[in-house]
Each structure stands twice: as structure tokens, then as C-alpha cells.
Structure 1
Amino acid sequence: MSDLATARLLLHPTTVREAERIVAGEPDAGARWAPGYPTAGDVSAATRYLRACADTGDPHPFGNYEIRRREDGRAIGGVGFHAPADAEGSVTIGYGLVPSERGRGYASEALRGLLLFAREQGVTRVKGDADHDNLASQHVMIAAGMRPAGQDERVRYFEITWTGPTTPGDAVA
């Protein structure tokens, strides 16, 4: 599977070998990791991806993607699906950036790219959540076109839904 491109980023589908390196904290010789990469969230996502590969096979295209800057190829975070779409066409997403790259719009750009890709794959609903005090993550989902969909004592839930077929050139807000 090839990288997904946005204006400033490449969303690189994580391979098993790359996920193993992320979990171990040991980049391949050619890997370019920004300082602070991988974060605990990246390690958790890579671990979940490796478990899925072992249990049911590679979930791609509904796996993890390394967020890389196009200008220098450096890995600055991750974005991806928690699992393939369910019977109703719904997926759950997660994302994160190294602290030094936050506040530049990269997370919203990566999420918009992933949402567009999900829609192209026939997904009808994408869900995400953020802790109540994680206002930055809530802003990322809103900037990417997701809307509040409820809350509990710990988190606020967001989602975006689509009806009808996808056509070339469809954009996510």
C-alpha cells in the first residue's frame, strides 16, 4: 500500500517490521524520527497493530500510519484506525504528534487526510474521543470536520458520518 499524501504530510502505512521497531524504540537505519518519536501513544498503537496482525492478519488499509513531514521525511507522530470497519461501516480513529510538532496544524491535516481516505474506502462513520481536559485534541477533531457526539465522566466523543457514495474530489471539512 502506498503513502497517503496531504499538502505537507505523508501518511505512511506502518509495516510489521516498522511497528516492531517503534515498540522497541529502535529506528531502522534509514528511518528519520523527530526528537520524542515514538511517543507512548505511538508505542500503544504499534502494539495494538502487531496484536491484530498476529490474531487476524494485517488490517490495512485500516491499520496505523506514521505521520511524516513531506519536506524532510521525518516521522512526527501517528494516526490510524483501531480496527477495520464494523458491519455498519463505522471505524474508530486515534492520532498524536510529538510535543515539538504540535500547534502547527499537522494533526488536523493528518486527520482530514485519514477521514477522506476512510470515506473512499466506504466507511460511513468515524468516531474518536478526547479527555475532557484535552482541549487541543478536541479542537483537532472539530477542525477536521468531526462533531461532538456525547460525553461521559472521562471523555468527550466526536464523530463524522456520511451518506451516499463517495465521488472523486469529495473533501472533508
Structure 2
Amino acid sequence: MKTTNAGFGLVPPHVAASMSGVDLLRGVRDGMLPAPPFAECTNMWLSTIEVGEVTFVGEPTQGFYNPMGIIHGGWLATLLDSAMGSAVHSALQPGQAFATIDMSATFLKSVRANSGTISCTGKVLRLGQRVASAEGKMYDAKGELIAHGMETCLIFPIDQAAPSR
């Protein structure tokens, strides 16, 4: 599992509010800011980050197997959601936050622990003032398309995010 210098935790709200989405994501990837706690158990991490396009990579392990001995679709969906949502996040201005409000995923090929590194790129299709849409494509280590998805995100002021943050 990849770890960062800043470890795992939450970015302080005043720091998150002062940064653009692309700068915050790069700070997490580069270890200057903590990765979200959820990242500690998913075995996936940020790879490349540009405004409107983000790639995550993940290492499937037997710990993510379903009863049939293949990687659970929930792990693949998490990788898709992370890439697509982060693509939207990368396009946000300081003071903006987002939440996924709809997501679809289509799985084309099974994945196993020996499938190698999985990469998933999310791209913003449209960024409005309140709603954004993104698409995601996931490839195995051989470069074969294994899944794709679509996502809709709500954009809102960061001060309206969960108060326990």
C-alpha cells in the first residue's frame, strides 16, 4: 500500500477552503496533505492530476475477492468513483466542494489479484455552477478496457460540507 508523508486523515477545513481542487489533490498525492482515511484500506492512490482529468491506480489483492474468487465489483466501482469524482474536484475553485449524486458502472472483464496494476482515468464532461458530469475508463496492466462509468456530482460551497469535518 502506498503511504504519504502526511499519512491519513482530513485536510483541515480552512486549508481545504483556501485551495483549488487541483492543488489540494496534488498536495495529497505528493504527501504534503493527508490522504483521506478511506484510502488506507482500498489499496488505490492518485497518480496523475490535471484540471478536469485525474488518474488513480490500484493494486487488486485477494482481500478484495468476492465468493467467486474475482475482485468484487464494489472495489472497481470505488476506483471509478474516485477517478471521476476527483476529476470534478480538480476543476473546482477555492471554496468549492462536491458530492457524487449519481453513478453508473459497466464491468467488461473480470479482475483477479494477479491482474496487475489497474488504472482508471476520470474526465470532466461538463462543469456547471451546481452540477458536473464525468466519465471514467479503467484498464488492466495489459491495457485492456475492463470497466467504464458515468458520474454526476453536486457542487456546493465548502462551508456547507459536513460540520464534523
| TM exceeding 0.5 | no
- TM-score where L is the length of structure 2: 0.35
Greater RCO (CA < 8 Å, at least 6 residues apart): 2
